[in-house]
Amino acid sequence: MAGSYADMDGKIWMDGKLVDWRDANVHILTHAMHYASSVFEGERAYGGKIFLSRKHSERLLKSGENLDMKIPYTVDEIEAAKYEVLEANGLSDAYIRVVAFRGAGEDMGVSARRNPVRVFIAAWKWGNYYGDAKFQGAKLDISKWKRPSPETIPTSAKAAGLYMICTMSKHAAEEKGCSDALFYDYRGYVAEATGANVFFVKDGEVHTPLPDAILNGLTRQTVIGLLKDRQIKVHERHIMPEEMEGFEQCWLTGSAAEVTPVGQIGDYTFEVGALTREISDAYEKLVRE
């Protein structure tokens, strides 16, 4: 997309009503801007149907609960609002961003119990998250940062604060000519990319990090289901970095990333093989059913 996301035509759903895109603003003392009190969902619509829409809405509410932030809408209300946004913007294939956050209110310290929790929903056309890497295989850097322990922050929440090291890591990767970065977790195990889960293939079997300190992505769960439907053994386990040398194929999964093959992570290389293509094609078919 060219231009600023703040300067687009269309409508955004704000706290129960549609407003003009350029008027969807918040006050400078919005709590989330200062203390990262925000959770969100990224979703895709295909042919007018949002894939796993209700699961995303349920996770949004759970993320808010995990951050001690009760979201003032039900799953049904959020579901209706997302489709209202698609209709208002004339979109059928689109990316949908739902964000819930503590707004400006009576509190402006760390505590914010008296501040309203607000919800915005926007949608726009968005192509392949990794561009041509979707077909050729992404190149990943290895981040110097580690995914935190669940004793540090609720790692099962899709919380804005968890993404700051993702932004820094992706910037560093892009400076090296890479599409993204891979994280290890606080224990040194392979974790995830900046906005996607990771899968590896060896001898016809699939290996993916155990989601005990990372987000158990909805696309991740979907892909595991596709693999098991094909009687392909899936190992959800702790993976040491040096094991990547022996893996033959690799791909990333996420609502934005969909299923994206990986050709290189640091000094480790992978083929964009038949299983990667098969699962990518199966996912493309599934989301459009």
Of 158, 202, 233, 285, the catalytic one is 158
Tokens of 180: 């993204």
Sign of CA dihedral 272, 270, 233, 252: negative
Question: What phi-psi label fits residue 2: left (phi over 0), alpha (psi between -120 and 50 degrees) or beta?
Answer: beta
Quote the CA–CA distance of 140 and 265 in Å, as a whole number: 5
Q: Between 218-229 and 53-66, two packed helices, what is the crossing angle to 10 degrees? A: 130
Quote the CA–CA distance of 196 and 254 in Å, as a whole number: 5
Helices (H), the chain: 31-35, 53-66, 75-88, 133-136, 164-175, 218-229, 274-287
Catalytic status, residue 158: yes
Any idea which residues carry the catalytic annotation?
158
